[in-house]
């Protein structure tokens, strides 16, 4: 199986999970429409482009923007503001590497797969929402089929290399860009703090999606186990059940810390456990993104 077919497969999986989201699409489109048109939700035939509102001409406006037909109806001069004139650019980052490959027996997907599917689903949704999508670290955005494929390829190729946090060096987000980060965020909280702070300097709009394996939450192992982590970290626990509560406490502390960071920066945060239904999480995410759009504009 060559890489291309794998990419196709990955995309297919992502599409499969979004294809069953037509309701969500309609809803999200409706939300978007509501946001744009306010009470008068009428679609003009033949216009081809959704407009947002008519506004009185201001000197700062370009004359090309004047809607003459509307202006002719009254004494005032209106300009037609189109929706996407202020389209945001969405930049996607997805964690990858060894820790993301973990999959316990309780789930069907590894965290990596979960993250990839989630990310790609969001991309597809965004594409349908006519947002400009780009890969974090690059400046180019777009919403063409080619861009989608490129992102899918990016997600797939990335899965081999270790990338646990959005790198500071790649931080070239345009202003008002929307940052979506998918990962397990199991790095030490100080690293995460540092990283988030850097991102928050660039944009106020970000969405952190943390995917964790149920085993990482609950630590359901029994007996004597040698745990191996990154950088040859190794812990031998003689009786896992006896430390389960302590571990859960630590883990929830970590999650809470991330949550409060997001809260601090006004970001959205969602925790997806990989044995949960991706669709549900996706629906939630999409609602958050839509809301965010509404709120922010």
User: In sequence order, which ranges of the chain are alpha helices (DSSP H)?
Assistant: 3-19, 22-37, 68-73, 111-128, 145-158, 189-202, 214-218, 240-265, 278-296
Which of 52, 57, 84, 247: binder of other proteins (CB under 8 A)? 247
Please say whether the dihedral angle defined by the alpha carbons of residues 69, 56, 178 and 214, taken in this order, is positive or negative. negative
Residue position matching structure tokens 């997806």 = 272
Which of 16, 38, 41, 227: binder of other proteins (CB under 8 A)? 227
Number of residues in contact with other proteins, rule: CB under 8 A?
Answer: 36
Task: Confirm or reject binding of residue 228 to other proteins (CB under 8 A).
Answer: yes
Report in angstroms the alpha-carbon separations of 184 from 114, 244, 255.
10, 20, 10
Nearest-approach distance from CB 260 to other proteins, in angstroms: 18
204/267 Cα distance (integer angstroms): 7
Task: Confirm or reject binding of residue 51 to other proteins (CB under 8 A).
Answer: no
- Non-local (6+) Cβ contacts of 18 within 8 A are 121, 124, 125, 282
Which of 25, 171, 240, 271: binder of other proteins (CB under 8 A)? 240
- Torsion angle, alpha carbons of 108, 112, 117, 122, to 10: 140
Nearest-approach distance from CB 231 to other proteins, in angstroms: 9
Task: Confirm or reject binding of residue 238 to other proteins (CB under 8 A).
Answer: yes
CA-closest candidate to residue 278, choices 74, 18, 1: 18
Task: Confirm or reject binding of residue 233 to other proteins (CB under 8 A).
Answer: yes
CA-closest candidate to residue 211, choices 118, 111, 120: 111
Q: Closer CB to other proteins, residue 25 or residue 251? A: 251
User: What's the start-to-end Cα distance of the chain, in Å?
Assistant: 45
Which of 66, 243, 257, 288: binder of other proteins (CB under 8 A)? 243
Nearest-approach distance from CB 209 to other proteins, in angstroms: 16
134/92 Cα distance (integer angstroms): 6
Q: Segment contacting other proteins (CB under 8 A): 12-20, 38-46, 144-152, 221-229?
A: 221-229
Length of the chain counted residue by residue: 297
Residues 106-125 within binding reach of other proteins (CB under 8 A) = 111
Contact flags string 159-178 toward other proteins, x per CB under 8 A: --------------------
Task: Confirm or reject binding of residue 266 to other proteins (CB under 8 A).
Answer: no
Q: What is the DSSP letter of 210?
A: E
Task: Confirm or reject binding of residue 242 to other proteins (CB under 8 A).
Answer: yes
Which of 83, 113, 163, 216: binder of other proteins (CB under 8 A)? 216
Which residues contact other proteins by CB under 8 A? Answer: 98-100, 102, 111, 184, 186, 188, 213, 215-216, 219, 221, 223-230, 233-240, 242-243, 246-247, 250-251, 254
């Amino acid at each position: 199986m060559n890489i291309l077919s794998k990419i196709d497969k990955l995309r297919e999986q992502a599409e499969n999970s979004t294809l069953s989201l037509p309701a969500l699409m309609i809803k999200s489109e409706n939300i978007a429409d509501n946001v744009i048109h306010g009470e008068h939700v009428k679609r003009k035939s033949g216009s081809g482009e959704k407009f947002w509102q008519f506004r009185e001409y201001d000197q700062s406006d370009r004359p090309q923007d004047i809607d003459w037909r509307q202006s002719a109806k009254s004494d005032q001069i209106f300009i037609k503001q189109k929706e996407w004139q202020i389209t945001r650019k969405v930049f996607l980052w997805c964690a990858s590497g060894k820790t993301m490959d973990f999959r316990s027996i309780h789930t069907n997907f590894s965290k990596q797969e979960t993250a990839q599917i989630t990310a790609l689903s969001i991309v597809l949704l965004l594409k349908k929402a006519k947002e400009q999508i780009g890969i974090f670290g690059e400046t180019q955005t777009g919403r063409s089929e080619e861009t989608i494929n490129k992102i899918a390829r990016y997600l797939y190729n990335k899965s081999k290399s270790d990338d646990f946090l959005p790198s500071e060096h790649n931080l070239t987000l345009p202003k008002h860009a929307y940052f979506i980060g998918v990962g397990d965020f199991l790095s030490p909280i100080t690293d995460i703090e540092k990283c988030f702070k850097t991102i928050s300097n660039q944009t106020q709009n970000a969405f952190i999606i943390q995917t964790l394996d149920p085993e990482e939450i609950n630590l359901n192992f029994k007996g004597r186990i040698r745990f191996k982590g990154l950088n040859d970290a190794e812990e031998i626990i003689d009786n896992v059940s006896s430390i389960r509560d302590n571990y859960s406490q630590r883990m929830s502390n970590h999650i809470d810390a991330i949550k409060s960071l997001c809260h601090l920066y006004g970001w959205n945060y969602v925790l997806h456990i990989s044995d949960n239904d991706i669709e549900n999480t996706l629906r939630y995410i999409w609602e958050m993104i839509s809301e965010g759009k509404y709120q922010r504009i």
